[in-house]
Amino acid sequence: MSLTDVSLRRSRVLLTGYFLGLGVVMAVWGARMPAVQHAAHLTTGSLSLVLLAAALGMVAGLQAGGRLARPERLPTLLIGGAVALAAALALVGQCRTLASLLAAALAFGAAHGVLDVAVNTGAVRCQNAYGKPIMSSLHAAYSIGALGGAALAAATDGTAHSALFLTVGAALTASVFVTGPRTLTLSGADPKTFDPQEADRDRPPGRGWLLGALSAASLLGEGAAADWAAVHVHGLHAGTAVAASSFALYSTGMAIGRLTGDRLTTRFGASAVVRAGAVLAAAGLATGVQADSVPAALAGWAVFGLGLSGTIPSLITAAGSCGPRAVATVSVTGYLGLLAGPALIGALASITALPTTLLLPAFLAAAVAALARRALENTTP
């Protein structure tokens, strides 16, 4: 094995760790948000403001990351973004007023956005250096980290959220400092061969917006699963534990799909894998939400996660060929779908039945299948 091969493997392992850590942090943040609300005596409206501050910070961080994420700056952005995210998480745990929470949430979102662009841009460069798909396995690490973070939050339910946030933040910071020297020598495509400005000039007109739209459609489905899957299954007279397992099954399907996605993409190409997966997701969810059966509903959410698993990694790969700003654009529009989707579904559900409203993510998955060929042609490494 050559020194170059060893360096690439180390870089891949390093990036896997960053994706894993990001998944843990985001799951812990989301799972213990009710405790944050209780500690600061927030109303539902006040908590919404905190979440909005985090969202605004994330958008700003994504945009800043897109401008800064040139190859020579990636190690600094990875280390700085991860440490800032860890510090912001710990700070959120100490806040007891709305004003302090708004400031901490804004910082948390900004750090998340910068780190998100950095890890995905680094993943694109590493994948290009490998010359074969590895993006799906890297995103699988995020999904596995999220499952682990959710399990950690559940297992420490009796522990103060401030202690949990501080512990997770300290562990992430320690990990970053231990791996810092390797991060500074992160391998990837030769910076001299990649000019983000040149990539932006070569991008086909409208392609970036199409990638962003497909990202929003996919992440709207993830938001629907996170916020409405348990409500849907509970509405079928399932117990609380069974209803809560719906999102876990969705996440498990997502993780399994991403662990196998690179091999499928190598064999069939990104466009074919995303089209087939999106069709499977649409059919699975549509069947699950229309069936008056708890097992069918749970299976539908699991199949939905499995089907959508390859979409975001493939869209990020396609955006990466256009430069870090394109990665940021796809991420911003995707997160808008993630944030706005659950609210839209809730508004529609107040007019019609929830199972009918949940056909929207299925319809959008079908749209992803229809447009995937145009968006993803010639993007497999």
DSSP-assigned states of every residue in 36-102: HHHHTT--HHHHHHHHHHHHHHHHHHHHHHHHH--GGGHHHHHHHHHHHHHHHHHHHHH--SHHHHH
Q: Is the dihedral of CA 76, 81, 83, 84 positive or negative?
A: positive
pLDDT band at residue 379 using 50, 70 and 90 as cut-offs: low
Is the model's pLDDT at 326 over the cut of 90?
no
User: Looking at residue 190, what is its pLDDT?
Assistant: 42
Structure tokens given for 331: 């991420």
Is the model's pLDDT at 254 over the cut of 90?
yes
User: Coil, strand or helix: which one is 185?
Assistant: coil
User: Looking at residue 191, what is its pLDDT?
Assistant: 42
User: Looking at residue 221, what is its pLDDT?
Assistant: 92
User: Looking at residue 313, what is its pLDDT?
Assistant: 94
Structure tokens given for 272: 């074919």
Provide, rounded to the nearest whole percent, the portion of the chain with pLDDT above 70.
93
11 with 186: CB under 8 angstroms?
yes
Segment 309-316 shows an average pLDDT of: 94
> Amino acid identity, residue 297?
A
Segment 134-152 shows an average pLDDT of: 91
- For 46-73, how does the pLDDT look when each residue is reduced to its tens digit (9 = 90+)? 888 888 888 889 889 988 988 887 888 8
User: Looking at residue 338, what is its pLDDT?
Assistant: 85
The residue among 259 and 199 whose pLDDT is bigger is 259
pLDDT band at residue 267 using 50, 70 and 90 as cut-offs: very high
pLDDT band at residue 297 using 50, 70 and 90 as cut-offs: very high
The residue among 163 and 42 whose pLDDT is bigger is 163
Distance CA 150, CA 170 (A): 18
- For 167-215, how does the pLDDT look when each residue is reduced to its tens digit (9 = 90+)? 999 999 999 999 988 888 775 544 444 444 444 444 544 677 899 999 9
Distance CA 354, CA 325 (A): 37
User: Looking at residue 198, what is its pLDDT?
Assistant: 46
- For 210-221, how does the pLDDT look when each residue is reduced to its tens digit (9 = 90+)? 999 999 999 999
Please tell me what DSSP assigns to residue 378.
T
User: Looking at residue 2, what is its pLDDT?
Assistant: 55
Distance CA 65, CA 202 (A): 21
Is the model's pLDDT at 139 over the cut of 90?
yes
Sequence-separated (6 or more) residues with CB below 8 Å from residue 292? 236
Structure tokens given for 9: 């493997």
Q: How many CB atoms lie within 10 A of CB 96?
A: 11
Least confident of 3-7, 109-113, 131-135: 3-7
331 with 211: CB under 8 angstroms?
no
106 with 53: CB under 8 angstroms?
yes
User: Looking at residue 380, what is its pLDDT?
Assistant: 59
* Neighbour-count burial of 265, counting CB atoms closer than 10 A to its CB (0-12 exposed, 13-18 middle, 19+ buried): buried
User: Looking at residue 192, what is its pLDDT?
Assistant: 41
The residue among 217 and 155 whose pLDDT is bigger is 217
User: Looking at residue 194, what is its pLDDT?
Assistant: 43
pLDDT band at residue 331 using 50, 70 and 90 as cut-offs: confident
User: Looking at residue 186, what is its pLDDT?
Assistant: 76
Q: Which helix (H) or strand (E) holds 221?
A: helix 207-234
With CA atoms as reference, report the closest residue to 204 among 318, 303, 93: 318
The residue among 118 and 195 whose pLDDT is bigger is 118
Distance CA 240, CA 242 (A): 6
343 with 151: CB under 8 angstroms?
no
Is the model's pLDDT at 231 over the cut of 90?
no
The residue among 187 and 251 whose pLDDT is bigger is 251
- For 13-48, how does the pLDDT look when each residue is reduced to its tens digit (9 = 90+)? 999 999 999 999 988 888 888 888 889 998 878 888
Sequence-separated (6 or more) residues with CB below 8 Å from residue 228? 342, 345, 346, 354, 358
Sequence-separated (6 or more) residues with CB below 8 Å from residue 57? 105, 106, 107, 108, 109, 110, 111, 112, 113
The residue among 136 and 150 whose pLDDT is bigger is 136
User: Looking at residue 378, what is its pLDDT?
Assistant: 63
89 with 101: CB under 8 angstroms?
no
Please list, residue by residue across 125-152, b when 16 or more beta carbons sit within 10 angstroms of its beta carbon and e when fewer do. Answer: bbbbbbeebbbbbbbbbbbbbbbebbeb
